Amino acid sequence: MNKTTSILVVDDDPAILQTYSEILRAEGYEVWEASTGHQGLQAARERRPDLVLLDVMLPDLSGMEVCRQIKAEAALADVFVVLVSGTAASVAHKVDGLDTGADDYLVKPLDIAEFLARLRTIVRLRNTTAALRASEQRHRQLVEILPEGVGLSDLQGRFLAVNPRGAEMLGYANPGELVGRSLFDVTRPEDHERVRADLATALAAGTLRNAECLLLRKGGDPFPAELSAAVAADADGQPSGIVLVA
């Protein structure tokens, strides 16, 4: 039972809407209701529920279109959407639904025990995803206020992200100007062999510490810097990028 999880149920059949709501409230969920696609979309925007249980066939906007619009809004990034249908139940329908960004697709009629078990799993996944996103946001904010220049590059040294201090050090108006450029664009041509060697060292050892180098500002002026690096890994433990600190 989860008394803090909120669920928006969107279905144009009053009997089904009532049944879902009663079952979910009995499990301790906070439940809101809507009977059209427009109502559901408005409620999602205003209330930002944890989860939307969304009928595919609605009298105005389809459930798939409502899902697509929810998933397109950054403010609703933590809202999970579960599409439900008794008629659009083929594999093709499920694929279409999941392609809109839906987090699951359930087919009516639903066994109550299985329905609740599936919802508990989805809610756990949603809560984990939201916590990770919040953690990433906190880390991003910390990186943005650091006095050092910090960048994330791919394994070839091409920048994927740079913090404001890094852009300022290199003479760029904003971090976005550096995305897609590489370490070779901000170092002298005669130092490129050294840069390649440092990248290889970082990839082999996992880190590179306090390497003295000359970096180039946007206008071409060199300035001395001290560069450290650490290899970032993906979920499988494989190298996925390089974190650079200047």
Quote the pLDDT of residue 2: 45
Quote the pLDDT of residue 1: 42
Q: CB-based contacts of 134: which residues, under 8 Å, 6+ apart?
A: none
For 205-229, letters b (16+ CB in 10 Å) and e give eeebeebebebbeeeeeeeebebeb
Angstrom distances, CA of residue 137 to CA of 34, 140, 141: 32, 5, 6
Quote the pLDDT of residue 110: 80
Query: Which amino acid, residue 134?
Result: A
The stretches of 104-191 forming alpha helices (DSSP H) are 112-145, 164-169
β-pairing, 80-85 vs 104-107, is parallel
Quote the pLDDT of residue 135: 72
Quote the pLDDT of residue 88: 60
The Cα 246–Cα 191 span in angstroms is 16
Q: Could you report how far apart the first and last alpha carbons of the chain are, in Å?
A: 49
Q: Quote the tokens at residue 66.
A: 């409502």
**One-character DSSP codes across 157-173:** SBEEEE-HHHHHHTT-S
Contact call for residues 194 and 184 (beta carbons, < 8 A): no
Angstrom distances, CA of residue 131 to CA of 16, 50, 126: 32, 12, 9
Q: Which residue has the tokens 């499990």?
A: 27
Among candidates 243, 21, 173, which has minimal Cα distance to 7? 21
DSSP state of 222: E
Query: Which amino acid, residue 164?
Result: P
The Cα 93–Cα 2 span in angstroms is 31
Q: What is the dihedral of CA 183, 184, 190, 193, to 10 degrees?
A: 80
Quote the pLDDT of residue 189: 93
Q: Quote the tokens at residue 36.
A: 């059209």
Residue-level length of the chain: 246
Q: What is the pLDDT along the chain (246 residues), one digit of tens a residue?
A: 445 799 999 999 999 999 999 999 999 999 999 999 999 999 999 999 999 999 999 999 899 999 999 999 989 988 999 999 877 666 676 777 788 888 888 888 888 998 899 898 898 888 888 887 777 777 777 677 778 898 889 999 999 989 899 999 999 999 999 999 999 999 999 999 999 998 888 888 888 888 888 999 999 999 999 989 898 887 778 888 898 999
The Cα 100–Cα 37 span in angstroms is 15
pTM of the model as a whole: 0.60
